[in-house]
Amino acid sequence: MAQKLTFKTIIYLLLSIVLTSSPISMVKAEIDDPPPHTSGRSGGSRGCSIELTNSSSTVPALILLAPTQAEFQTVSLQPKFAWFVRDSHSWPLEFRLYKYDSALDEVELIAEVDNIKSSSGIILLSLFDSIPPLSVGEKYLWQVEQVCDPNRPSGNPYAEVEMEVIPTPVDLNVALEGVQEQSQRAILYQRKKLFYDALLLVLTTEPTLEVSDLKRSLLEIVALDETELLELQNSSVHRVQQ
């Protein structure tokens, strides 16, 4: 049965796993020290302790590939979820997806994935076979947590972002019908300011000079400075299917 938590309270909750046979599971809330409200990136440059002693990087440990200069909107009912991991050590990652009800100021947990191992670079998570399609007109909240120490969850790097599913513009649908190349489809999404949909296509497209230039322009919507942009641009993409 879906569990509802207030949107304000969810920031103050850390979640323990209900044991099921499926990697996508519902969870029961347990109160712990509150993680920060992150707007798509983990606080500061803190990572797991083993990495802190070896790195002077100012890039956050986690960056969700969400636009920082525009609203986070998608027309995909089955989007992938993409984020950047800085640390080279392989730490467990936990992903959570909630449906947000602004009228009631509540979020409803849709899924949790707790069996992801991190790799330095961009993680691209697909949940096509695990959850029903998202709903047009609804807002969702998704979170990623890097588990440094399961016994001290308040010290884990943590990031979250809100995403809205909107209808596909009619003229975009018409334009997409005549285009097969991923890079050209990405350009069409970009022109409609659907930066996330465009970026997801680019991340899964064979690299060419045109694709590389397009990728950089899209990542400029995510990165806060040149250092972050270079890290994201040069990152390998690791696909995870659930």
Q: Sheet of 237-241: strands edge to edge?
A: 62-64, 81-85, 121-126, 237-241
| Sequence spans of domains, the chain | 4-241
Tally Cβ neighbours within 10 Å of residue 137. Answer: 9
Q: What is the DSSP string of 161-181?
A: EEEEE-PPPHHHHHHHHT---
Which pLDDT belongs to residue 115? 86
| Burial of 26 (C-beta count, 10 Å sphere; 0-12/13-18/19+) | middle
Global confidence as pTM: 0.81
CA 41, 42, 48: angle at the middle one, nearest 5? 140
pLDDT tens for the 242 residues of the chain, in order: 444 554 444 443 433 333 333 344 433 333 333 334 456 888 655 677 555 444 556 889 999 999 988 889 999 999 999 999 998 888 899 999 999 887 777 888 998 998 899 889 999 999 877 889 999 999 999 999 999 888 888 788 889 999 999 999 999 999 999 899 999 999 999 999 999 999 999 999 988 899 999 999 999 999 999 999 999 999 999 999 87
